Amino acid sequence: MLFRLRVSLPDRPGSLARVTQSLGTAGADVLQMTVLERLTGRAVDEFTVSWPGERPVARLVEGLESLQGVRVEGCWAAGEVPGASPELDVLGQVSRDPGRAVATLVDAAPALFHAAWAVATRGTKSRAVVHSSWQAPAVPHLPLVSPLRPLALELDTPGTYGAAAPIGPSWLTLFVVRTDGPNFHPTELERLGRLVDVVLGVLGTRTSPKAGRTTGGN
């Protein structure tokens, strides 16, 4: 099984090596590491690891938290590991089929951001789903927000977090939702906003991009 771990650790030589050594000793295979922040003597990194399904993942977390100064801020299932240049793959698909730009964004977002599902909606007070990823609920319960920039959301269901980003000045909003794990980090929000901006740039417009298809992927 694949898991994503968000780990806070001292930002000093040797700390990262202790973390990766602990992961390896426990039996986890580190597939990917992302630096989220380095501030005031601490770092926050995320690791995607392969972990034997028959072992309780709590053992992995306990091993890390036994290290001095290390905290595990989140541990959640990761559906897949994106390729070496996942954003470029998305942009390539958009350039080949610009009519499905929003659908491509929605379909790619869960893997890119280690989330459970994503949807694009249109409207403000009433929302119409214009495209949904295959694991999205038939009727997603989302807050009535129309963000001017990407923002993190804590949804009604405990332990469920979302990120919302505007898709051009067209009342289209992209929602990416985690049903397990921590809230979206500011670094992730910045990355989400840049991805949307670049997709709109590839389309050559910041007006109303088409959704591609109006039915969800369920």
Average pLDDT of the residues in 17-36:
91
- Are 95 and 157 in the same domain? yes
Helix (H) and strand (E) counts in the chain? 5, 9
Is 154 a member of any domain?
yes
- Are 112 and 31 in the same domain? no
Please report, for the domain that includes residue 24, its CATH number: 3.30.70.260
Place of tokens 């028959």: 54
Return the pLDDT at 89.
85
Is 214 a member of any domain?
no
| Identity at 24, one-letter amino acid code | G
| Identity at 215, one-letter amino acid code | T
Return the pLDDT at 142.
87
Choose the final residue of a domain: 13, 46, 77: 77
Is 148 a member of any domain?
yes
CA distance 179 to 129: 19
Return the pLDDT at 84.
58
Choose the final residue of a domain: 77, 97, 116: 77
Domain that holds residue 63: 2-77
Tokens of 96: 């080949």
Q: Per-residue pLDDT for 47 more than 90?
A: yes
- Are 20 and 46 in the same domain? yes
| Stronger pLDDT, 84 or 182, i.e. the higher one | 182
Please list, in sequence order, all residues whose beta carbon lies within 8 angstroms of the beta carbon of residue 132, skipping any fewer than 6 positions away. 106, 117, 118, 119, 120, 140, 216, 217, 218
- Are 97 and 187 in the same domain? yes
65-108 pLDDT tens trace:
999 999 999 998 887 665 657 788 888 889 899 888 999 999 99
Q: Per-residue pLDDT for 61 more than 70?
A: yes
Residue 159: DSSP 8-state: T
Mean pLDDT over each residue of the chain, to the nearest integer: 85
Average pLDDT of the residues in 182-196:
93
| Stronger pLDDT, 159 or 63, i.e. the higher one | 63
The answer to whether 57 touches 75, Cβ cutoff 8 Å, is yes
Q: Per-residue pLDDT for 212 more than 60?
A: no
The answer to whether 218 touches 70, Cβ cutoff 8 Å, is no
